[in-house]
Amino acid sequence: MRSRRFIFRRGFLLLLLLTAVSVVTGTWWGERIEVTHLRLPLNEAGDNFRLAVLSDIHIGSGGKGMERWRRALASAEKERPDAILLVGDYVTSHAGIPALQKAFRNIRAPLGVYAVLGNHDHWAGSKAITGILEQQGIHVLTNRAVRLRKGNGELWIVGIDDLWTGKPNWQEAFRGVPRNAAIVLLSHNPDAAITPYRERADLILSGHTHGGQMWLPLARVLARVFDFALIPHSEYGSRYPHGLRREGNTWVYVTKGVTAGSRLPRWFNSREVVIIETETATRP
């Protein structure tokens, strides 16, 4: 009997130790900022573009997450991008709005900084957030497009309003964009990849999923067994919560985002900055 109790106690203590190590290690891993480099064939000819992509910043009340965000932005700026692309969810709630001016102060890139809004931005106050971003020199592309030029290279950035909480207008977003142009579509929600307008873009950049927030297999178990979805309202994002895919003639990249001030910790799921180098493509 004593031997069984001893074995049980040792086993229980070992389980506690492994759990503690797993929690600490997973949380530490979630604090890492991973810089992902991609080379994608987008432009027909001319100079290539270097783009930095940041999403799901989630600044919280009182500026919660500011230090993490600053580290992520510094990692992006260190790569010397031509343009910075922001893919939505800049705050967690309305309480984070007062800190946005500080968060985006002095954010610059040679060809500009461009943004779309996410679901949290609409819930918190899209008009106020748009105003603050624009005050900092950020171009908010709500259902509109802009053309970038570098040497003899040309690239169009198209922004669509959030597919879940916003008022997306595809016709307005693509107005004036030539059919044969090289196009990057910014859509906070990855479900842009399952709309008919996917084929208009050479590359779709999305966030929203946080890469599942935690180690992906566990996130999927929680969703299936307990109906606890960490990836809300995104059919495409639930299937493909992170990474690069090819859908027809379109590249789709879903970033894990920064989640600097998010209430939920990341577990074995690093934060992400994406650097994309465009190169000459052969049109189908």
How remote is the C-alpha of 26 from its chain's centroid?
21
In 3D space, the residue among 187, 278, 202 whose CA is nearest the CA of residue 247 turns out to be 202
pLDDT in the model for residue 1: 53
pLDDT in the model for residue 135: 97
Whole-number Å distance between alpha carbons of 29 and 216: 14
In 3D space, the residue among 170, 217, 216 whose CA is nearest the CA of residue 197 turns out to be 170
pLDDT in the model for residue 120: 96
pLDDT in the model for residue 262: 67
pLDDT in the model for residue 116: 98
pLDDT in the model for residue 196: 95
Domain spanning 33-280, CATH architecture: 4-Layer Sandwich (3.60)
Half-sphere exposure at residue 107, Cβ-oriented, CA atoms within 13 angstroms: 32
pLDDT along the chain (284 residues), means of 10: 64 63 56 91 83 96 93 97 98 95 96 98 98 98 97 95 97 96 97 97 96 63 58 86 95 92 70 93 60
DSSP result, 133-163: HHHTT-EE-SSEEEEEEETTEEEEEEE---T
pLDDT in the model for residue 233: 82
pLDDT in the model for residue 193: 98
Whole-number Å distance between alpha carbons of 20 and 279: 46
Supply 26's token pair.
């997973």
Residues contacting residue 264 through CB under 8 Å, at least 6 positions apart: 213, 230
pLDDT in the model for residue 211: 84
pLDDT in the model for residue 6: 61
Kind plus residue range of the DSSP H or E element containing 74: helix 66-78
What's the pTM?
Answer: 0.87
